[in-house]
Structure 1
Amino acid sequence: MPDTISSTVSPLGSLEVLSQHEVNRLRDTSKAGLHDLLRRCALAVLSSGNMTDDSLVLMETYHDFDIEVIQQDRGIRLKVTNAPAEAFVDGKMIRGIRGHLSSVLRDIVYVYNEIQHHSRFDLTTAEGTTNAVFHILRKAGTLKPGRDPSIVVCWGGHSIAREEYEYTKDVGYHLGLRELDICTGCGPGAMKGPMKGANLAHAKQRIQDGRYLGISEPGIIAAEAPNPLVNELVVMPDIEKRLEAFIRLGHGIIVFPGGVGTAEEILYLLGILLHPDNANMRMPVIFTGPASASDYFKRIDEFLVYTLGEQVRSKYRIIVDDPTEVARIMREGIDDVTNFRREHQDAYHYNWRLTIARDFQETFEPTHEAMGSLALHRNQPVHELAANLRRAFSGIVAGNVKENGIRAIEAKGPFSLHAEPELMRRLDELLGSFVAQGRMKPPGRDYEPCYRLV
């Protein structure tokens, strides 16, 4: 059995000042059906640094962990029972983990009380969903209208080779020297590296308020627990709203090598940028990695061109083994974003102008039936095909690392994906290359495919 500690702590960074009504709502998590969700996300935060990326294994390892909200006249305290010992130093919870734990509670309860069960947010419409994403981010304090555009969203694998990790740090360092901030999925690997590099560069530039934003969601947070550098954590209610938050908040995107999760993010981004309404949108996008990753991006590029057409190449640049050039081009691109938004009197802190079709907003539950009925053929508009391919990759991510997906695969076997023959062949080659390069699971573990191509 792993070492555990039970303790009671005060919130930090969120929830310090609450009304009596808000306290009562927080205490009622068990009655609202939120307790299991809060327990899973809280355990993920407390397990930051744990080597497993399997949420089911994590829950089974700490099966007797629990968290309770305790009411006091001056607010609340959080009681954790049998929590991972690595979250504490000399019996006291690490401050950064306390802050992340408070953020988890804030977002889960706020979304349930103020978004999902409130008449002012119609989540069946594009406008209502975008408005909900805005309010979640505003509640978390991530929208800072007084700052110029500076947020670079970095995507990539949470389990990558050491050479690739060092490269992400180099890129982050050169971004930080150019006074840019970092936003990632908040986990390890390509999500931690850019933050670590930028943190050093910000120190050299004497930047005291460098931003290291982590955006997660309940289904993925256990596989990608927040790394210690994250100083602003937001837990969105699902993967679709998480992806929209990245796009609305970010001023530029950098994609490092990764697996199916990274492919999902690429297809989401490019499907949106290929929408006719976004033809003139300013959004610098760079794919980059060390020289050893050149074949990875070659395969990604070939797959994108085959499925989405030659015009997709106008939406991104591939720069291999040149961190300084990546940062220089990104700085220029974000300066262009600043000028564009100033000319159009757009907000710097939230991209309202971007059109995101409902296909990209609707929550996709990767059941065996839903995965088997995806339209994977080229006889449809490219942004619709991108949406369906994104769903396919999202389902594979769920089958790899999310508790519900893992349980579904154990019960019914692999997901079946149906596609036209040539697209099937290319999809098979791409996924096969991910497996061969060890991008589906951490090195040293055999990968059992959670999908089959029919």
Structure 2
Amino acid sequence: MQKHVVNVSVNPRGSLETLSQREVHQLSEAGSGSTYSLFRQCALAILNTGAQIDNAKTILEAYEDFEVRIHQQDRGVRLELLNAPADAFVDGEMIASTREMLFSALRDIVYTESELGSPLIDLSSSPGITDYVFQLLRNARTLLPGVEPKMVVCWGGHSINSEEYKYSKKVGHELGLRSLDICTGCGPGVMKGPMKGATIAHAKQRIRGGRYLGLTEPGIIAAEAPNPIVNELVILPDIEKRLEAFVRVGHGIIIFPGGVGTAEEFLYLLGILLHPDNQGVPFPVILTGPKSAEAYLQQLHDFVGATLGADAQSRYQVIIDDPAQVAVQMAAGLRKVREFRRERNDAFHFNWLLKIEEGFQRPFDPTHENMASLQLTRAVPAHELAANLRRAFSGIVAGNVKDNGIRRIEEHGPYEIRGEAHIMQPLDELLQAFVAQHRMKLPGGSAYVPCYRVVS
């Protein structure tokens, strides 16, 4: 890949308090190699915003000589960037959104690393993990008490065609006209489209302070750089805490066409909603896309029915090619959320009442052994099967785009996903459809080589 680089120094603008000497030492290459490497990887991805690359390994190898040096000054923190991507600058000045996200990454990584050893952090229990997610979001100033429910999470693929992208913009526009805010995974494709549509609608309604919240984690941000519309970026430590953050701060979720990453999120959500303790908790979910995506949406709907049953299918609506109706139904669902939380004195800004079992919160390490050992059988309760299917898709995401997963596949070959035939068959058919529809990788790259093998 052709590259142009620059050497610059950059200071935050009201987005980060000063760091202590210990925190600067943590982030220095000499102080903590792993912490420095993590921040360098996230910083490089942010500086590559707009690049059509979804392979972390490719980006890291293209900018092997990129360095970040963190300096503590009396006035605060200064970052020295060496051999940085030139596209992040205009006339020698870093683009404002890029600057904000760069220091958001620094904020989140410093906080995560410095708080992990705190006696106030309890990662041994489900309530403790939820509290940790709350603290991460509060530190990022994402939680706004008193604001009525209007944060709509939009999930969908980064590798989508232009018609699906335009449809996601239309839905975002309809949501924005109804004064709703947008939260996505902050990358390209469906993670950008609804935000772009909402910005226009917010401008039409003279809404200032519209929120475009992006939630990501280090393994994803390195492969899918944030889109520049994001005005609140939060980097969670791992995929499980990122997923919990979505359902804790979001008041409803719209799922657009996507690939394995979208299926992973969808299954995670269904697993939570299928838990007996969550039966009466209102949480509007809509599966939608343009007319051209109807077959895909039907296939995903059928997959849920074949593996998890009709009860799982009843937890969401399917709306085809009707952006206005999607927004109308979501707004109606949010009114039910508002009344429910008022009746139970639950916070608007964080969904404390939703039960999330510890199995959904523990990080899943997609080693070849762990992938082959997943219990994909109807002998386990539906919400647990959903969790295991989610882990299978999580491993495929890692093998597709995450640096560590790509290296594992290169070393040991494809993952093996094993289970009962009546689950493996619809799973294999769904994955083959993702490949045929180019939903595994960004278009224009090399032909997709599966990182998995389905075994009945």
Q: Above 0.5 in TM-score?
A: yes
Q: Specify the alignment match of 1:303 in structure 2.
A: 303
Aligned positions, number? 452
Give the whole-Å Cα distance in 1 for the aligned partners of 2:323 and 2:70: 45
For normalisation by structure 1, the TM-score amounts to: 0.98
Q: Specify the alignment match of 1:77 in structure 2.
A: 78
Give the whole-Å Cα distance in 2 for the aligned partners of 1:312 and 1:13: 45
Q: Specify the alignment match of 1:431 in structure 2.
A: 431
Contact 1:23–1:76 under 8 Å retained in 2: no
Counterpart code for 1:123: L
Q: Specify the alignment match of 2:125 in structure 1.
A: 125
- TM-aligned CA distance change 1:29 to 1:250, over 3 Å: farther
Q: Specify the alignment match of 2:105 in structure 1.
A: 104
DSSP-derived class of the 2:453 partner:
strand
Counterpart code for 1:221: I
Contact 1:186–1:216 under 8 Å retained in 2: yes
Give the whole-Å Cα distance in 2 for the aligned partners of 1:290 and 1:258: 13
Shift of 1:27: 4.9
Give the whole-Å Cα distance in 2 for the aligned partners of 1:362 and 1:23: 27
Shift of 1:24: 4.1
Shift of 1:22: 6.6
Q: Specify the alignment match of 1:142 in structure 2.
A: 142
Alpha-carbon displacement from aligned partner over 1:202-245 (angstroms, at most 9, x marks no partner): 00000001000000000010221110100000000000000000
Are 1:173 and 2:143 an aligned pair?
no
Structure 1: unaligned runs, 5 residues or longer: none
After superposition, residues 405-444 of structure 1 pair within 5 angstroms as 405-444=405-444
Alpha-carbon displacement from aligned partner over 1:371-393 (angstroms, at most 9, x marks no partner): 11111111110011011000000
Give the whole-Å Cα distance in 1 for the aligned partners of 2:372 and 2:390: 14
Counterpart code for 2:384: E
Shift of 1:29: 6.3
Q: Specify the alignment match of 2:223 in structure 1.
A: 223
Shift of 1:161: 0.4
Contact 1:29–1:109 under 8 Å retained in 2: no
DSSP-derived class of the 1:301 partner:
helix
Bigger drift between 220-229 and 183-192 goes to 220-229
Counterpart code for 2:340: F
Shift of 1:11: 1.5
Give the whole-Å Cα distance in 1 for the aligned partners of 2:410 and 2:21: 42
DSSP-derived class of the 2:378 partner:
coil
Give the whole-Å Cα distance in 1 for the aligned partners of 2:19 and 2:292: 55
Shift of 1:2: 1.0
Counterpart code for 2:339: N
Q: Specify the alignment match of 1:275 in structure 2.
A: 275
DSSP-derived class of the 1:81 partner:
strand
Q: Specify the alignment match of 2:51 in structure 1.
A: 50
Shift of 1:91: 1.3
Give the whole-Å Cα distance in 1 for the aligned partners of 2:23 and 2:62: 31
Give the whole-Å Cα distance in 2 for the aligned partners of 1:19 and 1:38: 15
DSSP-derived class of the 1:234 partner:
strand
Q: Specify the alignment match of 1:328 in structure 2.
A: 328
* CA RMSD of superposed structures (Å): 1.2
Bigger drift between 233-242 and 5-14 goes to 5-14
Shift of 1:28: 4.6
Give the whole-Å Cα distance in 2 for the aligned partners of 1:399 and 1:19: 36
Counterpart code for 1:85: A
Contact 1:259–1:439 under 8 Å retained in 2: yes
DSSP-derived class of the 1:441 partner:
coil
Structure 2: unaligned runs, 5 residues or longer: none
Alpha-carbon displacement from aligned partner over 1:307-342 (angstroms, at most 9, x marks no partner): 111111221000000000000000111011011101
- TM-aligned CA distance change 1:27 to 1:407, over 3 Å: closer
After superposition, residues 240-319 of structure 1 pair within 5 angstroms as 240-319=240-319
For normalisation by structure 2, the TM-score amounts to: 0.97
Q: Specify the alignment match of 1:377 in structure 2.
A: 377
Contact 2:21–2:72 under 8 Å retained in 1: no
Q: Among all aligned residue pairs of Structure 1 and Structure 2, give the percentage whose two residues are the same amino acid.
A: 58
Shift of 1:146: 2.5
- TM-aligned CA distance change 1:250 to 1:39, over 3 Å: same
Give the whole-Å Cα distance in 2 for the aligned partners of 1:405 and 1:27: 25
